[in-house]
Amino acid sequence: MPLFVPPLEEAVDPQLVDPSTIKSIPKMLEQIRFLGQNRPSGHLTHLIVMSQVQHEEVALTALQTLLNIKDPRVPPQMLPLLAIPGFSSQRRFLILKIIMETRSVLEPGSLEQVLVAEKDVIVKSGLVKVYARTAGADGVATLKACLADGDPRVRANTIEVIEEQGIPGCEPEIAGLLKDPENRVKVNSAKFLVKLGHPEAFTTLRTMLGSSEVWLRDSVIFALGEIGDQASLTLLKAALKDPSQGIRLSVLKALAKVNNGPARDVLQGMGGDADPIVAQVARGLFEKIKDTPLRTVTAPKPAAAAAPPVAPPVVPPPVAASPATRSPSPTSPAGADLELPSLDGLTPVRPGAPTPLPVPVAPDADEAPSLPPLRQAPAPGGEATDDEGPALPPSKPSAPSAPIARPGPLPEAPADDAEPPALPPLKPATGRPPTASVAATRSPQLPPAASEEPPVAAPPPSPAGEEEIPLPPMKPAPRRPAPQPAPPPVGEEPPAGSEPPPAAPAEEGPALPSLPGIGSAVARPATPHAAAPPQPLRAVPLSAPSAAARPAASGATVSADGIRFAKPRSAEVYARLCSDSPDDHQAAMKDLPFIMGDDQMILLTKAATNPDDGIRLAVAKLVSRKRGPQAIALMQTLAGDPSPLVTSFAQKALTMMK
């Protein structure tokens, strides 16, 4: 049965360039940036078309732009794309993010059809939340089927969304999952049942908190923070004595989630903990919540006692006597305002065939806020969660920013080439160890000065002090400048009409090795106590930030550490990872899932050395989705991480990767 796709309701400006006529990848990316920034009439139609092209970078950039726009007309157009085979996991994940984070009206039947047929467990575990929020109690049958799904991520997310939406009718099935073999499913089931007043479920949580498995204890702590009653607070205080630093940090976050008076007192007291990291996190969390309202959590009551408080408001005598005075409540306020034409067999928008309507409907950013953030217990056993990546960069509904932050022509590839040419890496000069600055930048077009460094007898003077960022208007010097003749010996006159003698031969003095961008160095005679030549002038850069990346002449970008990246954005993320600011590290990890190819592996290797346990754990989650010897080698390194959380995840992921 084909999926119903409503018309896009967007008139297309005839002056827009047809995407099918653009053959150059840089021009496609430039067109996507133009559509995202200016949003002309028809921009959604063109972006949806470009999100289906074969080239991965173009499609991902178009999808990221649609995610930033957050137009409520887009998710119904994205849903059928999940049924197209051959799309990469990154592309399908962005499609899922658009569906989940853009407030829109989706047809439950089409959503159920895609959910049941979905094979990717990451996508399915996210779609089940969208379906439950859309169908509500009418989708209990499908939700029960998801509770029996073969993948634990789908089962765990189904329990979470049933608890979130308060959907009745699934309690017996969830009670049976208390014996599930997967820890995350058991924890979510116990948390759901504790909130309904089942005391035996809390006993299950207390038993699991004494497990020797770090992941299980961490999941239980998250659940206790969600419950937030006095019994949960007692267990959290006891867990502060756990030998694992990662567990103690998770307890602090759970106490901040509880956010009542006793929890704040514990947080404030942990600010003087002997572990400096634990003390720093405790102080930061206390400062963050001290001015917020206290959280009031009602203690869970037995399930049998929950019925009397609900019954009195249902049948009061005044209301029962005049039922005609009450106006019927609408079944779906959002659906009442949206009139979808009944067009059967309509397929997603195809290139060159837009369907403009006479009355386009403009999106209202104020009426389309993003859905509330989805919280869940951390995935045990290395299982990936549903709607995190690792964390994607949050998008603001009203921000019209394009996914590529800087305007101007793209430096990734020449204007007419489909793929940027691969350039050989810079080779360090032979005869001495390479320096970071030699690999990072091209040297100025001047020979190095002999007086730049202290005189050393054995090696030639290092040109490291000479390497500066060249000024933009400077033109490169000729590849081989004319050599300066050596002065003739005293008492000899050069014959008339003869050519000036070349530079001193190699046996008279060691010649400096040539570097890329510099002509061959002029050899000087090895005369002892010879007067040094005048100090050459060096170009002073207009600005030279220490950790900034500079675009190479070939279109690639070189970081300050001499690492060559294919994209400028990769070098920016690397610079943030090298920063001393934890905020920069977190921002870099939000962008890292969108970096592709070898650049991502370089960034993952760098992030794996971060002192933050959470960042290294996020690296392990990203690496677990990769294959190949580099990914396995990095995961083996993480398997020996000092953090038990990272080690436990990496060891389990290695068994799946080998």
Q: For 297-314, write each residue's pLDDT tens digit.
A: 554 444 433 333 334 334
- The CA distance from 89 to 277, in Å, is 36
Strand partners, 550: 558
Average pLDDT, integer, range 567-582: 88
Mean pLDDT is highest, among 6-10, 343-347, 435-439, 453-457, for: 6-10
Q: Give pLDDT, residue 99.
A: 92
Task: Please state, in angstroms and rounded to a whole number, the distance separating the CA atoms of residues 104 and 72.
Answer: 5
Mean pLDDT to the nearest integer, 114-141 = 92
Tokens of 101: 């984070």
Burial environment of residue 582 by CB neighbours within 10 A (0 to 12, 13 to 18, 19 or more) = middle
Q: Tell me how far apart the alpha carbons of residues 52 and 190 are, in angstroms, rounded to a whole number.
A: 42
Other CB atoms within a 10 A radius of the CB of residue 534 amount to 8
Calculate mean pLDDT across residues 406-423. Answer: 42
Model confidence band, residue 265 (pLDDT cutoffs 50, 70, 90): very high
**Tokens found for residue 235:** 């267990």
Residue 37 has pLDDT above 90, yes or no: yes
- Among residues of the chain, what percentage have pLDDT more than 70? 59
User: What confidence score (pLDDT) does residue 60 get?
Assistant: 94
Q: For residue 593, name the pLDDT band (cuts at 50, 70, 90).
A: confident
Residue 174 tokens read as 């969830």
Asked if pLDDT for residue 542 goes beyond 50, the answer is no
So what's the pLDDT on residue 484? 52
Mean pLDDT of 640-646: 87
355-391 confidence digits (pLDDT tens): 444 344 444 434 433 434 434 444 444 444 444 444 4
Please provide the size of the chain in residues: 658
Mean pLDDT of 532-555: 44
- Per the model's pLDDT, the better-predicted residue between 555 and 215 turns out to be 215
d(CA 7, CA 356): 9
Cα–Cα distance, 113 to 118 (Å, whole number): 9
Mean pLDDT taken over the chain: 70
Please give the pLDDT value at position 173. 93
What's the predicted TM-score (pTM) here?
Answer: 0.47
With 90 as the cut, is the pLDDT of residue 555 above it? no
Count Cβ neighbours within 10 Å for each residue of 211-236 and write b for 16 or more, e otherwise. Answer: eeebbbbbbbbbbbbbbbbebbbebb
CA–CA gap between residue 482 and residue 471 (Å, rounded): 24
Using alpha carbons only, how large is the chain's radius of gyration in Å? 32
Angle at 331 between CA 329 and CA 333, to 5 degrees: 90
pLDDT at residue 313, rounded to an integer: 39
pLDDT band at 331 (very low <50, low <70, confident <90, very high): very low
Residue-level pLDDT at 438: 35
- The residues pairing with 184 across neighbouring beta strands, listed in sequence order, are none
Region 432-457: mean pLDDT is 41
Partner residues linked to 558 by β-bridges = 550, 564
Sign of CA dihedral 494, 498, 499, 503: negative
- DSSP notation for 139-159: GHHHHHHHHT-SSHHHHHHHH
pLDDT category of residue 459 using cuts at 50, 70 and 90: very low
pLDDT exceeds 50 at position 285: yes
Q: Are 76 and 112 spatial neighbours (Cβ–Cβ below 8 Å)? A: no
* Best-predicted range by mean pLDDT (207-211, 352-356, 460-464, 485-489): 207-211
Q: What is the pLDDT of residue 184?
A: 87
How confident is the model at residue 598, as a pLDDT?
86
Topology agreement, domain 212-296 and domain 550-657: yes
**Residues 6+ away with beta carbon under 8 Å from 309:** none
Architecture (CATH level 2) of domain 550-657: Alpha Horseshoe (1.25)
Mean pLDDT across 273-282: 91
Q: Is the pLDDT of residue 506 over 50?
A: no
Name the residue among 121, 77, 118, 69 with its Cα closest to residue 99: 77
The pLDDT value given to residue 143? 94
Domain boundaries, the chain: 212-296, 550-657
Structure tokens at 308: 């009397």
Average the pLDDT over 416-431 and give the result.
Answer: 42
Residue range 212-296, CATH number? 1.25.10.10
Looking up tokens 């009718």, which residue turns up?
A: 169
By the 8 A CB rule, do 46 and 35 touch? yes
Q: Is the distance from CB of 335 to CB of 76 less than 8 angstroms?
A: no
Q: At what angle do helices 613-624 and 597-607 cross, to 10 degrees?
A: 150
Instruction: Report the candidate in 449, 450, 441, 437 with the shortest Cα–Cα distance to residue 470.
Output: 441
Q: What type of residue sits at position 325?
A: T
- CB of 617 closer than 8 Å to CB of 649: yes
Handedness of CA 489, 490, 492, 497 (dihedral sign): positive
**pLDDT interval class at 580 (50, 70, 90):** confident
Give the pLDDT mean for 586-601: 86
- Report the C-alpha gap between 216 and 228 in whole angstroms: 18
Q: Which helix (H) or strand (E) holds 512?
A: none
Gap between the Cα atoms of 172 and 175, Å rounded: 5
pLDDT greater than 60 at residue 97:
yes
The three-state secondary structure class of 372 is coil
Name the nearest CA neighbour of 385 among 136, 58, 621: 621
The pLDDT of residue 569 is above 90? no
Neighbours of 482 (CB within 10 A): 9
**Angstrom distance (rounded) from CA 578 to CA 567:** 17
Strand duo 550-551 + 564-565: pairing: unpaired
Task: Return the pLDDT at 27.
Answer: 93
